[in-house]
Structure 1
């Protein structure tokens, strides 16, 4: 999957500036920006503030907070000058995204305290599209960005929003700016960057709907894989993520993770859940490694980290893995990660009440270490 997130930022900014330039002769301070409390001038400046803040955090690899600086406008800056600032800050974010390695992350407060270059691109585009809409609404201008820009935002940082028939109107609905037939109005919202769980030698990187769509279609999902990857099980899991997203039931923290080796930033396998925990707090895990990465303990290391992360949550009480009796390496992975073979009674209950394949063995992990 070729990375074109920088080009998307550039396209979003160009569309914003082109539209607002048609009304540069008007008093933006006298007009409220759509449903916002800000006037159109303050909203336009906010676009620039966000673009430069995202560029700074990604370029500076900020870890715990925003890079401590702010931009200001020179006294007497007119609307045309403000548009130049938006163009410039957009160019800076575009350049930062284009030159930042895929594995680099920078601080963003929610929900998991960081974002990668795709996340910052999607956040920047969201700020541009949505606030251009707000300003256009205030000034009485017609505005509709390219559908692929709204789709990129939705599939990257709105993984829990079920796709609608129209990407742009779905994004407006998801951010409290419009209505969709059959859906209740949105009064509170927040986008969501992907979860990353570190281990000693790996990072488990949450797969977005955008990446899942590419993986399930035969692409690389935006990752650089070792020879032979990704394994077919990872593609199948990506398809499960995509189906859950399209059905509006995807919970990304209980989706698919790609295992990326820290020493060389290469993806070596996939791991994740078959779905969110049920009402009893039970969730099923699955995993695979590319053949060339096997025998080095990567799967056990990753499964232990993912299991400890999930069991620390209040909504998870029990983790299970179903494994073929002849798959001794997979059984070893589960055992080394703290799983134990279920009792005969537990396996029988799983077959009768949960339709577990009777040819498989059940492994469980309950304790919080």
Structure 2
């Protein structure tokens, strides 16, 4: 997800709308909106330049206080030129932003990275081009790859459908999908990032999880030897949950990125969302070259405190091999205590915990 995809989306928008530039866009409402087609097209340009500004300016707590206006008398062809220009600016901002750059965006975790801003810009272009095209009777359908990218970057909580574009339209209240109830309220979701003293825990989106599962780097730069097998297995769990429609992004996989050099050193996360009793299981691994430096303890302590501060989490569980003394040290230093004999027996008998594992718990 990057500048090339932003430019592809914008080019598709302009190509679809150009045949109608001589028509009255101000007198026709975009489908499903209170805005006219002209207002909707200008909104696309506003969002593209706003996202470029947020990312380039590294806004941290609010929107950068600026806006754009059209010159009096700007016709529809000129408006499409503005969309092309603002799209190019967003693409440039995405291409030049460092991997760890983030800017303010309110929902849901108050920031987005360069891929997130690219995805949001593309979503605005695709969806509002659809709204305008429908109102003007124009044919429009973006590529399956672009629609799928928006879903896997911004809608990790939405189960994939038979095809990406109809699924995206349904997920944003713009269409029907067989077997699913109509959507009346929706939000997209940028990934969660949790800082520690020396690390950044970066939430892994389904698109990145797919790549990790298949042997790629997930879009991260790893120290030698990474990612480790456990991180790839956890990525597979994310993909499975996403495909089944039960993925909750904040209870997925995080890659541990070292702040001093931006290199990924391991993976940590949850085996799924909390159950009805508020229990969730954690797991982690580090690339061999990053072990023995306290990274796992630092990350697990922070992630555990974040989770236990939520109302839906009461108990965190960690299953550790009986022979793995370093990992046992990690969990105990992170505030976990050994489960009782009865709790461990229940885990073995009722929850199929492997017999070679010991159970550790941390409670709210």
Same fold (TM over 0.5): yes
What is the rounded CA distance, in whole Å, between the counterparts of 1:98 and 1:166 in structure 2? Answer: 29
What is the rounded CA distance, in whole Å, between the counterparts of 1:14 and 1:359 in structure 2? Answer: 57
Superposition pairs of residues 74-85 of structure 1, within 5 angstroms: 74-85=71-82
Partner residue in 2 for 1:55: 52
What is the rounded CA distance, in whole Å, between the counterparts of 1:289 and 1:355 in structure 2? Answer: 25
Give the superposition deviation at 1:352. Answer: 2.4
2:156 is aligned with 1:171: no
Q: Secondary structure at 2:282's aligned position in 1?
A: strand
Partner residue in 2 for 1:331: 328
Superposition pairs of residues 202-241 of structure 1, within 5 angstroms: 202-241=199-238
* Number of residue pairs matched by the alignment: 364
Among 105, 118, 123, the alignment partner of 2:120 is 123
What do the CA deviations read for 1:302-331 (whole angstroms, capped 9, x no partner)?
000000000000000000100111000100
Give the superposition deviation at 1:343. Answer: 1.3
Give the superposition deviation at 1:43. Answer: 0.1
What is the rounded CA distance, in whole Å, between the counterparts of 1:85 and 1:65 in structure 2? Answer: 25
Give the superposition deviation at 1:344. Answer: 1.1
2:357 is aligned with 1:360: yes
Among 140, 145, 151, the alignment partner of 1:143 is 140
Partner residue in 1 for 2:248: 251
Partner residue in 2 for 1:311: 308
The alignment's TM-score, normalised by the length of structure 1, stands at 0.98
Q: Secondary structure at 1:82's aligned position in 2?
A: helix
What do the CA deviations read for 1:150-201 (whole angstroms, capped 9, x no partner)?
0000000100110011100000000000000000000000000000000000
Give the superposition deviation at 1:350. Answer: 1.6
Partner residue in 1 for 2:273: 276
Q: Secondary structure at 2:112's aligned position in 1?
A: coil
Among 189, 194, 199, the alignment partner of 2:191 is 194
Partner residue in 2 for 1:183: 180
Partner residue in 2 for 1:39: 36
What is the rounded CA distance, in whole Å, between the counterparts of 2:171 and 2:289 in structure 1? Answer: 42
The alignment's TM-score, normalised by the length of structure 2, stands at 0.99
Partner residue in 2 for 1:285: 282
Q: Secondary structure at 1:323's aligned position in 2?
A: strand
Give the superposition deviation at 1:358. Answer: 2.1
2:64 is aligned with 1:67: yes
Partner residue in 1 for 2:102: 105
Give the superposition deviation at 1:289. Answer: 0.1
What is the rounded CA distance, in whole Å, between the counterparts of 1:314 and 1:333 in structure 2? Answer: 25
What do the CA deviations read for 1:109-146 (whole angstroms, capped 9, x no partner)?
00000000110011000000000000001100010011
Give the superposition deviation at 1:18. Answer: 1.2
Give the superposition deviation at 1:301. Answer: 0.2
What is the rounded CA distance, in whole Å, between the counterparts of 1:87 and 1:116 in structure 2? Answer: 22
What is the rounded CA distance, in whole Å, between the counterparts of 2:9 and 2:190 in structure 1? Answer: 20
Give the superposition deviation at 1:353. Answer: 2.3
Q: Secondary structure at 1:205's aligned position in 2?
A: strand
What is the rounded CA distance, in whole Å, between the counterparts of 1:224 and 1:297 in structure 2? Answer: 20
What is the rounded CA distance, in whole Å, between the counterparts of 1:357 and 1:294 in structure 2? Answer: 25
Give the superposition deviation at 1:346. Answer: 1.4
